Amino acid sequence: MRMSMAKRGVKSGGLKLGLTALVMALSMMVASHAEAAERAIAVTLRPGGVDAAKNISFVDVTLITTQEEGRRGLLRLPLVINNVKTSAMSVENLRARDADGDLALTAGYNPDGVKKYRYWRASRPVHGPVTVTYRIPITNALNPLGAAPPLELRSESGGFSGLVGTYVMLPDSDEPYRLRLNWDFTALGGDALGLSTLGVGTQTSTAKTPDELESTFTMGGHVGHEPGQPATDGFFSAWQGTPPFDARALMQWTHRLYGSYLTFFASPGATYNVFLRRNKINPGGGVEIGNSFVGTFDDGTPVEEFKLTLAHEMVHTFVGGLDEKDELAASWFSEGLAVYYQRLLPLRAGEITREAYLDDLNITAARYYTDLLNTTPNDQIPARFWADTRVRVLPYDRGALYFAQLNAEIVKASHGKRSLDDLVLPFLKRRTAGEKLTQAAWVEVVTRELGDKGKQQFDDMMAGKVIALDSDAFGVCFQRTQKPLRRYVLGFDPTVLVQPRRIIRGLVPGSAAAKAGLKDGDEILKPVPQDGIQADQNAKMKLLVRRGGKVWDVSYLPRGEVVPTWQWMAVDTPGCR
């Protein structure tokens, strides 16, 4: 699962009859033998009816697991998953039975485990299929652990959603299971629909460990969806609640863009789902789960910005990451390309305007050139990634500008015949052929294209040398200009914001934070997302602060020194309008 920062951050094989049908029948027989030995768990989700606030207040879960003969340690639920408190402590009406009748279950914990679970053990060895039923209330309480991906069970407007790992008990085992997910909307009626990252309606997963099955996202009930029927290209989307924008139009836009990505990346297509739901803490971002994206909104979420988040996330699905051990150290590649293409592919597909492209490009350039820490070497990023937003944005901003300048060099050296696409697409294809995509392999690719200059440019980027972009790096329709912009200055030690208790220290005298009245020792009561604020020269920092018995709101413009920054502007020539 990869979290995305707010604001920047079914194949249909036509069946052939005749001989093919015979071969299929034979292979199905083989498959049914293989399945007999395979572990499986069938889960039915049955949401309750809607209450006066139009919320679903509980979901009843029935699960049947068949290959637990003689076992006693049966099921488990994580207590916390990706910083989200799960429903493990809220299980009600728990009942179990097997072939011998009622089965008493007792709950326990693993206080010393790396990942903490609540466990359920049977009072005797089980015999035959085990059926377990329980109820999970849906309270819509905010996650007590602070900023986290939108994974907990939530309901709005007759729909509900949540990650399997937050509310569905799974076998206490490391063996692979097939998960069959069924939906029962008897209590909801009407046109209720259930879908998950496995697909629309009843679906069965491939065999995965329970740990992997936890990362299945579910959404059901009265939800909006687009298209009406699952499309042959594999795209499907659903939303819970009412976003402040036209969700259907946005999802039609996303679907068209997805189609253009299939063409650009020469992909045969795969299932791609978009789920949308409300997020009160950090709207506009979301989380990628497998080939799906869970995006979030709140009443003020601007649709044009959100479009580029969706465009960004879909690039990830096609590009993936380098096969390097340290994901953060290699994120210049995945995030750099995702930012580079998030505006370029929609522009080429005619899905955003030239102005929107330019705005987004300038946001990247402004945040990069005003970043006091933009010379941080790449190998220091993993250690400081979560602690300092000015380091965290570097794989995105510096990565994207590295690829932009690389593209400019390739275009120039080939007299317009080649571009970055001609390196990226064949590189990605090597993964399909089973090759590992390493950083060294990428350096080989750029060296083959540009000689030593290609390697030098790469080494400079990794060393933290500020990227110098040509005036026409983004083509003849845009030219470079200089603009004075202000650096992002939080005004106190940034590691304060990643502590469990945010007690201000290292207050910078004379900073906007100090002028707003903050003092060392003040406690910040709510989590603070910074990445978007850093990207916006006019965005205020809003803090809820406590000093002694007094609690009050503090607001200030977290900006300092003015520095010359490169921006791009449109050139007003006929071919460029």
Query: Interacting stretch for Zn ion, rule CB under 5 A, among 51-59, 107-115, 334-342, 558-566?
Result: 334-342
Query: Interacting stretch for Zn ion, rule CB under 5 A, among 116-124, 335-343, 416-424, 484-492?
Result: 335-343
Alpha-carbon radius of gyration of the chain: 26
Shortest spacing between CB 4 and Zn ion, in angstroms: 5
Query: Interacting stretch for Zn ion, rule CB under 5 A, among 233-241, 337-345, 436-444, 474-482?
Result: 337-345
| Closer Cβ to Zn ion, 154 or 312, answer by number | 312
Shortest spacing between CB 105 and Zn ion, in angstroms: 41
| Closer Cβ to Zn ion, 119 or 396, answer by number | 396
| Closer Cβ to Zn ion, 2 or 178, answer by number | 2
Phi, psi of 473 (to 5 degrees): -60, -25
| Closer Cβ to Zn ion, 338 or 473, answer by number | 338
Binding to Zn ion (CB under 5 A) within 389-448 occurs at none
Give the C-alpha separation, 145 to 500, whole Å.
9
Shortest spacing between CB 433 and Zn ion, in angstroms: 25
Shortest spacing between CB 563 and Zn ion, in angstroms: 26
Say if residues 449 and 423 touch (Cβ distance below 8 Å).
yes
314 binds Zn ion (CB under 5 A): no
| Closer Cβ to Zn ion, 338 or 533, answer by number | 338
310 binds Zn ion (CB under 5 A): no
| Closer Cβ to Zn ion, 247 or 338, answer by number | 338
**451 CB contacts (<8 Å, ≥6 apart)?**
none
# residues near Zn ion by CB under 5 A: 2
198 binds Zn ion (CB under 5 A): no
Q: What helix, strand, coil percent values describe the chain, rounded to 5? A: 30, 25, 40
Give the C-alpha separation, 469 to 369, whole Å.
11
Query: Interacting stretch for Zn ion, rule CB under 5 A, among 199-207, 267-275, 336-344, 489-497?
Result: 336-344
Give the C-alpha separation, 204 to 236, whole Å.
17
Let me know the angle formed at the C-alpha of 446 by 440 and 452, rounded to the nearest 5 degrees. 95
β pairing state of 286-289 and 170-171: unpaired
Between 79 and 108, how does the x/- string for binding to Zn ion read (CB under 5 A)? Answer: ------------------------------
| Closer Cβ to Zn ion, 335 or 397, answer by number | 335
Dihedral sign for Cα 63, 68, 69, 73, please: negative
Give the C-alpha separation, 391 to 374, whole Å.
7
311 binds Zn ion (CB under 5 A): no
Q: Which two tokens stand for residue 430?
A: 């090597």
Residue at shortest CB range from Zn ion: 338
Reduce the DSSP state of residue 331 to 3 states and report it.
helix
Give the C-alpha separation, 419 to 97, whole Å.
63
Lookup result for tokens 């906007």: 512
* Ramachandran sector of residue 376 (left: φ over 0; alpha: ψ -120 to 50; beta: rest): beta
Query: Interacting stretch for Zn ion, rule CB under 5 A, among 187-195, 338-346, 403-411, 527-535?
Result: 338-346
338 binds Zn ion (CB under 5 A): yes
Say if residues 434 and 428 touch (Cβ distance below 8 Å).
no
| Closer Cβ to Zn ion, 271 or 309, answer by number | 309
287 binds Zn ion (CB under 5 A): no
Say if residues 234 and 203 touch (Cβ distance below 8 Å).
no
| Closer Cβ to Zn ion, 323 or 327, answer by number | 327
Query: Interacting stretch for Zn ion, rule CB under 5 A, among 83-91, 230-238, 328-336, 512-520?
Result: 328-336
Query: Interacting stretch for Zn ion, rule CB under 5 A, among 43-51, 327-335, 425-433, 550-558?
Result: 327-335
| Closer Cβ to Zn ion, 175 or 323, answer by number | 323
| Closer Cβ to Zn ion, 338 or 352, answer by number | 338
Note the residue count of the chain: 577
In b/e form, how buried is each residue of 380-395, taking b as 16+ CB within 10 angstroms?
ebeebbebbbbbbbbb
Closest CA to 306 of 273, 347, 338, 342: 342
Shortest spacing between CB 365 and Zn ion, in angstroms: 18
Say if residues 377 and 463 touch (Cβ distance below 8 Å).
yes
63 binds Zn ion (CB under 5 A): no
Query: Interacting stretch for Zn ion, rule CB under 5 A, among 99-107, 234-242, 329-337, 487-495?
Result: 329-337
- Which residues of the shown chain bind Zn ion in the complex (CB under 5 A)? 335, 338
